[in-house]
């Protein structure tokens, strides 16, 4: 069964606006990671948040984690056309060394 | 420091042929992971290897698929007698020696396999 599930599945906004993507998961975790994938390319690691952290920032990215609700959000502020990509959350399933990915959110930034 | 390298980037095979996908982890990384991505879907874990050891192959199909990570050289994902359903992007990731919990995995550019 799918561990991580992102919503929305697709998001289209204007350049300069903020984009928020959500991820829900089912089992307990040690950490949660967000990745970006440009069309037809590999995955780029964005940020890792550990289960004892509630919020983390990296440049224009802000990630929150609510372990009581088993959910995380990724906020991209002041979006740019170059942010157009698919964004995936991935969990470790509580100690396994494999990552469990959601289906992803396809983000489109319109100039 | 070069990233994770995969080759070939694109591979076309006819049904029944063999596909061999290679992955060289980042320098200093001793853990390799293989994932498969079908169109418009997320990545699905296949196998986790350390040098000369398969640690977790719970995501590998029971038949036709095998993986290795020899003492010397790249990790190899081998698919025998390919079928059209094997068409997908195959990603390799590597991580440094683990220190108790999951570490960040760094992904290669992927190999896109097309089975005709």
Q: Which two tokens stand for residue B107?
A: 């992904």
The answer to whether residues B55 and B75 touch, using CB atoms and an 8 Å cutoff, is no
Across the interface, whether the CB atoms of B35 and A30 are under 8 A apart is answered no
CB-CB: which of B41, B44, B102 is closest to A97? B102
Instruction: List the single range of A40-49, A63-72, B68-77 with lowest mean pLDDT.
Output: A40-49
Interface of B with A in 27-46 (CB under 8 A): 31, 33, 35, 41-45
Mention every residue, 6+ apart, whose C-beta is less than 8 A from residue B105.
A33, A45, A99, B33, B93, B94, B95
Q: Which two tokens stand for residue B67?
A: 């993986």
Which residues of chain B are within 8 Å of residue A90 when distances are taken between CB atoms? 43
Closest residue of A to B88, CA-based? A40
Is residue A97's pLDDT more than 80? no
Is residue A6's pLDDT more than 90? no
Q: What is the pLDDT of residue B105?
A: 87
- On whether any CB of chain A is under 8 Å from the CB of B104, the answer is yes
Q: What is the mean pLDDT of residues A53-74?
A: 96
pLDDT confidence band for A4 (50 / 70 / 90): low
Q: What is the mean pLDDT of residues B15-39?
A: 94
pLDDT tens readout for residues B31-89: 999 999 988 788 999 999 998 899 999 999 999 999 999 999 999 999 999 999 999 99
């Amino acid at each position: 069964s799918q561990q991580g599930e992102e919503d929305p599945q697709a998001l289209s906004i204007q350049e300069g606006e903020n984009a928020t993507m959500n991820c829900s998961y089912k089992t307990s975790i040690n950490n949660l990671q967000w990745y970006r994938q440009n069309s037809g390319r590999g995955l780029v690691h964005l940020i890792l948040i550990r289960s004892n952290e509630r919020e983390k920032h990296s440049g224009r990215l802000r990630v929150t984690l609510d372990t009581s609700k088993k959910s995380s959000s990724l906020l991209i502020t002041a979006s740019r056309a170059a942010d157009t990509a698919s964004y995936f959350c991935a969990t470790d399933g509580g100690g396994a060394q494999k990552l469990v990915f959601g289906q992803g959110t396809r983000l489109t930034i319109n100039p | 420091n070069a990233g994770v390298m995969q080759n070939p980037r694109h591979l076309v095979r006819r049904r029944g042929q063999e596909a061999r996908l290679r992955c060289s982890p980042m320098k200093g990384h001793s853990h390799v992971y293989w994932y498969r991505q079908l169109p418009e879907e997320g990545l699905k874990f296949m196998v986790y290897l350390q040098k000369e050891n398969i640690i977790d192959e719970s995501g590998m199909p029971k038949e036709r698929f095998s993986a290795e990570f020899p003492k010397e050289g790249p990790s190899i994902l081998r698919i025998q007698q390919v079928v059209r359903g094997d068409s997908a992007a195959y990603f390799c990731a590597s991580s440094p020696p683990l220190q108790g919990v999951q570490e960040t995995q760094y992904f290669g550019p992927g190999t896109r396999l097309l089975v005709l």
